[in-house]
Amino acid sequence: MSTRVGYSRDRFVTSLLVFAVACLTTTLAATTAPAAAQQQRPMTPEDLWAMGRVGAPAVSPDSRSVVYTVTRYDVDTDRGRTHLWLVPVAGGEPRQLTHGDASSSSPAWSPDGQSIAFVSARNEDGPQIWLMPAAGGEARQLTRVEGGAGGPVWSPDGSLLAFTSRVWVEGDEGGEAMRRLAGSRSSAKIYDDIMVRHWDRWLDGKRSHVLVIDPATGETRDLTPGPYDSPPIALGGFHDYDISPDGTELAFVRNVDEQTAVGTGNNVWLVPIAGGEPRRLSPGDGNDVAPRYSPDGRWIAWLSQERPGFEADRAVLMLYDRRTGRTRALTGDLDRSVSSYKWTPDSRAIFFNAQDEVHVRIYRVGLRDGVARPVTGDAYDGAFALVGDGSRIVVARQQAHQPTELVLVDDRGRERRRLTRVNDRLVSQLALQPVETFWHAGAQGARVQSFMVKPPDFDPAQRYPVIFLVHGGPQSAWSDFFHYRWNYNLFASPGYVVIAPNPRGSTGFGQQFTDEISRDWGGRVFEDLMLALDHALAEYPFLDDDRVAAAGASYGGYMMNWFQGRTGDRFRTLVNHAGVFDLRSMYFATEELWFPEWEFGGPPWEAPEDYQRWNPAVHVEHWRTPMLVIHGQLDYRVPIEQGLGAFTALRRQDIPARLLYFPDEGHWILRPANALVWWGTVFEWLDEWLR
């Protein structure tokens, strides 16, 4: 017996009307029966975009309050707004700090706790740093720099505030021609180096620099002059500059590679706050980012990826002793990559988070023994902030069935209280399912972890169509998170079972497992994926092996192209979002060249074998599976021609296909109205082939 699957055309057409009343419905629910007593229903795309998205926490110096951001989207205006909120650490009703049409973000407490610096574009000056009294009151504009301002970082004594801005640099040959054109009527741009665009924007000739401002006088100085991006625009850390506790020195990240599109050589540099020549601190040629001084001023920590050119190398927490000049790897024995970290106030330990299989855990490592011990358990713990001496932690926590909320835990990971409940009322109305993990044998007997998400009202006696998701990266992973683009529960909502494997290349399973996809894009990883599907179909009788679709984005989209002609009739249909089609032409059009050069052993003229061996474009005569192709015009990571190539290969051979094109989107679909069209089209396509 088959379960009815469908996202009808009528439902898609009326989706915008549904969203228009979503906020009103949520408000009225507060005056009717409790949400917990209501019958839960499947999640819709409108629900996903009605949720408030909680940002990183920042704890006040007195440890009494937490400031954080909440972003909400409006389909009617097709935009989002981010505002600052404050909640007591002891618990209580949150209070909104910023209002109005302009977004506010990046909150940073002043050391005395009297002010909060934040970024907002409230007037014609564009994004600037503003200061707000923590006790309440009107904010005042602090910076007025032409290139905008972002990322406020206070000096420990509160006398200076560091921030980033994009500036014209005198004598910068790469920017001089662009600067001359900026004052003309021409729309032309002139470049002398390879990095002409990045992600979804063309570069404008300006450089990213770190500036400092005196909040009392407004005096502003550039501390990182020169023809370099400092911090760099690519492969940066969670925060790439910091002021020493005594206020005399700035640590920052800079890349001085001759061609930044080819090298990942970010390094930590030091410069006196009073001005002077910077000196390079980190010795490696890999990627060194996110410097942080210890509170006592003795140490500088940073994150280091050792192998040049490999953006997915293991990120190790490094430690530099400012007394002795010695450097050592603090997490060298941990086979996981450090994401972000915080010093304890006594400078004796560091808390950090790292992906571990499908979870992200917070760890603690002591400087003396260098042993990293997990603090939190089976959840996805992202941004966090220490409270007081570090015995309590405010964590931005999420799981597949729970969007991000702030929770307070102790230093043993025990949850003490929920601090925010931004989405509780809406979530309580939705039939959201947790992930269920399973292990199976992959290529060469490797252990591979996958997980499954079941649809609402699941009945094990019925048989369900399967959505087989392949993640991007390829050095990435499906995790137990609440994804606002590829949401497992939303994929499952029409009556599908979602299977999401983590094959070769996935992160969080040890660096060797991550490494084993490079120069093997369609080899063992393809076997891992097929064996994951084999295992699931054999193990779970409620899966309908005659109704299976696969979907993926970026590298996952590449794998949809690779599946074509190699999987027979195994898949009824494929969904390819921003997928790589032709490896050779991809190399010459993408912007970060270190990536294909690492993955395929060099540029195509030096290492043609792997570009040919793993190239879907050379096998199009074997394609036969119907496919939905989705691509954005502003995608400069995987340019639009890759999607057009796949679509042409399909339709020229009379294979059923559809192209969903977004002229105003990049690698991701970020506008609410476009996202609703994305989901509506995907559901309509899947329903057509799986019904």
**Alpha carbons 227 and 169: distance in angstroms, whole number:** 6
Of residues 124, 104, 123, 119, the one with CA closest to residue 149: 119
**Alpha carbons 570 and 585: distance in angstroms, whole number:** 29
Q: β-strands 573-577, 627-632: how paired?
A: parallel
Amino acid making up residue 262:
V
Q: In the 3-class helix/strand/coil scheme, how is 51-110 assigned residue by residue? A: CCEECCCEECCCCCEEEEEEEEEECCCCEEEEEEEEEECCCCCCEECCCCCCCEEEEEEC
Dihedral sign computed on CA atoms, order 236, 197, 560, 525: negative
Of residues 554, 378, 400, 359, the one with CA closest to residue 490: 400
**Alpha carbons 282 and 431: distance in angstroms, whole number:** 50
**Alpha carbons 399 and 23: distance in angstroms, whole number:** 24
- Report in angstroms the alpha-carbon separations of 626 from 500, 645, 658: 21, 15, 9
Which helix H or strand E contains 468, and what residues bound it?
Answer: strand 464-470
At 387, give phi and psi (nearest 5°): -110, 120
Long-range contacts of 382-386 (CB under 8 A, 24+ apart): 382/56, 382/353, 383/55, 383/56, 383/57, 383/340, 384/57, 384/340, 384/342, 384/351, 384/353, 385/56, 385/57, 385/58, 385/59, 385/66, 385/342, 386/59, 386/342, 386/344, 386/345, 386/351
User: How many of the other CB atoms lie within 10 Å of CB of 445?
Assistant: 6
* Token code pair at residue 469: 């998701």
Residue with tokens 């392949």: 470
Q: β-strands 573-577, 543-553: how paired?
A: parallel
Angle of helix 524-539 versus helix 555-563 axis, rounded to 10: 80
Q: What angle do CA 108, 237, 226 make, to 5 degrees?
A: 90
**Alpha carbons 473 and 422: distance in angstroms, whole number:** 30
**Alpha carbons 281 and 249: distance in angstroms, whole number:** 13
Of residues 239, 225, 322, 219, the one with CA closest to residue 275: 225
| 327-329 sheet: strands from edge to edge | 287-293, 299-305, 316-321, 327-329
Strand partners, 296: none
Tell me which residues are annotated as active site.
554, 635, 667
Dihedral angle over CA of 400, 402, 406, 407, nearest 10: -90
Dihedral angle over CA of 476, 477, 480, 484, nearest 10: 60
Q: Tell me the chain's radius of gyration from C-alpha atoms.
A: 25
